[in-house]
Amino acid sequence: MKKISVVLIYLLLGSLTTINANGMKSKMGNIPLGNVGGSTGNVFPKGKSRFVIKNMSLTKDGAYSGDDEVKDPKNREMNMNKTIFLYRYGLGHGFDIRVATSYVKKKQTQTIPMGAMKGKSFDLKNSGLGDSQVLVRYEILNQMKGAPLFLAVGAGMKLPTGSTNKSFSTAMGEKQANQTQPMQLGSGSYDYIAEIGASKILPNSRIDAHMMYVLTTEGKNDYEFGDKLKWNLGYSYAINKYFDLQLELDGFHMGKNRFKGNDINFSGGNFMYLTPGIHIIPSKKYDISLGYSHMIYRDNNYDSTKKVGGLSEDYRWILRVGYNF
């Protein structure tokens, strides 16, 4: 009799949870998708999975000290196109896992600043498989189960799957891999990742906030990329079940890179972007999102000894395509 009572209690609690979740969904109307540029505080339930392709393109065509554009004797310009392929799966018991890899395409154009070939320009080009990531996220709070919001934490690693050994033929002679690490496809390092995210579902809308820290280690070519702190705060509104609008604030802190243990003083800085966007949901199976990130705050580091400013862009485009299994 005692066992039967326990089973009945579990069944009753399960049915109440289902009723609460269904009631919440119906009360909230159309729930929009999360930010196109950042992340959320949600964890996938057991067995749910999603495949995402996200493309980001940008052109760094100005050298800066803080927010002031400075003269660049080499007239450097960096074009980058990065496509991320991500698979996410709900493990159950409050956990999900994300596995991502990337395809990277880079091009840097610059001119020779002095000598007999002064003013002559040349390109450095590289493309192929980039670095990968594996992250596990754990759910602390679930709004669908009666909590005031969703809250989750996660941890993972960046894996050195991108190549780091390409040399380049230029007008100034052969440039070896250890002279061109920023043009390589990977860092060659195992980096540690920690994250925390929160989401609040409102009628036909949502608020998402997320923060991720990447603790880097020294990789190939005696080079270490600076630690990274990335955060976002966004609001999305569902016009109907087929279209959402979003407005997102994204921030980045980029630590200085290091070469042979010495800081590269013109690398890194602090940046903020405002990202309006649209989400198109033709069906429950797949969706397409587009965001335009415009830089609204820039604090590029500057090497006052070498008179070199860090490169940065004015805007970037983000395209995301998702498929739910």
The two three-digit tokens of residue 34, written as one number: 């999360």
- The position carrying tokens 């089973």 is 7
Angle at 234 between CA 36 and CA 249, to 5 degrees: 90
Could you tell me if 96 and 88 are in contact, meaning their C-beta atoms sit under 8 angstroms apart? yes
In DSSP notation, 52-93 reads: EEEEEEEEE-EEEEBTEEE--TT--EEEEEEEEEEEEEEEET
The two three-digit tokens of residue 1, written as one number: 């009799």
What pLDDT, on a 0 to 100 scale, did the predictor assign at position 173?
74
2 and 61 in a single domain? The answer is no
- On whether the pTM is more than 0.85, the answer is yes
165 and 265 in a single domain? The answer is yes
73 and 191 in a single domain? The answer is yes
240 and 199 in a single domain? The answer is yes
Which domain, by its residues, includes 67? 31-324
Overall domain count for the chain: 2
Could you tell me if 78 and 33 are in contact, meaning their C-beta atoms sit under 8 angstroms apart? no
What pLDDT, on a 0 to 100 scale, did the predictor assign at position 180?
86
108 and 94 in a single domain? The answer is yes
5 and 125 in a single domain? The answer is no
Residue 114 belongs to a domain with what CATH number?
2.40.160.40
118 and 168 in a single domain? The answer is yes
**Residues shown for the chain:** 325
Task: Give the CA distances from residue 148 to residues 53, 143, 144, 154, 302, in Å, rounded to whole numbers and listed in that order.
Answer: 31, 6, 9, 20, 44
3 and 118 in a single domain? The answer is no
Give helix then strand counts, H and E, for the chain: 1, 22
Query: What residues form DSSP beta bridges with 90?
Result: 96
CA separation for the pair 21, 292 (Å, rounded): 34
Tens-binned pLDDT, residue by residue, of the chain (325 aa): 444 444 433 343 343 344 345 556 667 899 999 999 999 999 999 999 999 999 999 999 999 999 999 999 889 999 999 999 999 999 999 999 999 999 999 999 988 887 777 878 889 999 999 999 999 999 999 999 999 999 999 999 999 999 999 998 877 778 888 888 999 999 999 999 999 999 999 999 999 999 999 999 999 999 999 999 999 999 999 999 999 999 999 999 999 999 999 999 999 999 999 999 999 999 999 999 999 999 999 999 999 999 999 999 999 999 999 999 9
What pLDDT, on a 0 to 100 scale, did the predictor assign at position 21?
52
8 and 102 in a single domain? The answer is no
Judging by beta carbons within 10 Å of its beta carbon (0-12, 13-18, 19+), is residue 277 exposed, middle or buried? Answer: buried
7 and 146 in a single domain? The answer is no
CA separation for the pair 250, 211 (Å, rounded): 10
CA separation for the pair 275, 82 (Å, rounded): 18
Could you tell me if 55 and 37 are in contact, meaning their C-beta atoms sit under 8 angstroms apart? no
23 and 71 in a single domain? The answer is no
273 and 205 in a single domain? The answer is yes
Q: Give phi and psi for 25, each to the nearest 5.
A: -60, -45
CA separation for the pair 56, 102 (Å, rounded): 11
DSSP state of 270: E
What pLDDT, on a 0 to 100 scale, did the predictor assign at position 207?
98
